Amino acid sequence: MNQSTTKFRSRTGKRPEAGADAAPANTRARRRPDTPPQAVAPFRATQETELEKLKQRLLAELLAETSARPDLNLAYRRAANEAVSLAWLTPFPLLVLPALLGERAAETRERADRQRDVLLRTAKCKAAA
């Protein structure tokens, strides 16, 4: 016997089936062939559709409040998509989404107001020159 074959033999003298870290045959999970395998991760498709419905409802409320400012329409839609992306990373996205969307909407409003102020100031400077 050479050294490489004796290195992998156990005390009983038998080789392991699938490597040194394989579980013994009697501890492996067995399932009946007619049953489908159990899902390892939770099924989130229903949560995804509920999240999309909540996003649409919150976005409709935001757009209704700012109907006088059509420049915010696209920015609010982008903020809603960002909020959904961030909420999806949390364990409870349906609970987190309203707060995240509120924060994103406030940031979007502030950014749009700053841009509008800059445009007005530059327009005044151009007119004076």
Q: Which amino acid is at 60?
A: A
pLDDT for res 107: 96
The pTM of the full predicted model, rounded to 2 decimals, is 0.60
Give the pLDDT score at 10.
54
Amino acid letter, 95: L
Instruction: Give the residue from 105, 85, 107 showing the smallest Cα distance to 96.
Output: 85
Q: Under a CB-based contact definition with an 8 Å cutoff, are residues 73 and 63 in contact? A: yes
Q: What percent of the chain has pLDDT over 70?
A: 66
Domain ranges of the chain: 45-128
pLDDT in the model for residue 110:
96
Closest to 113 in 3D by CA, of 71, 64, 62, 61? 71
* pLDDT for the residue 127: 85
Phi-psi region of 52 (alpha: psi -120 to 50; beta: other; left: phi over 0): alpha
Residues 40-93 have pLDDT tens digits of 545 566 777 899 999 999 999 999 988 888 889 999 999 999 999 999 999 999
Structure tokens at 23: 């579980």
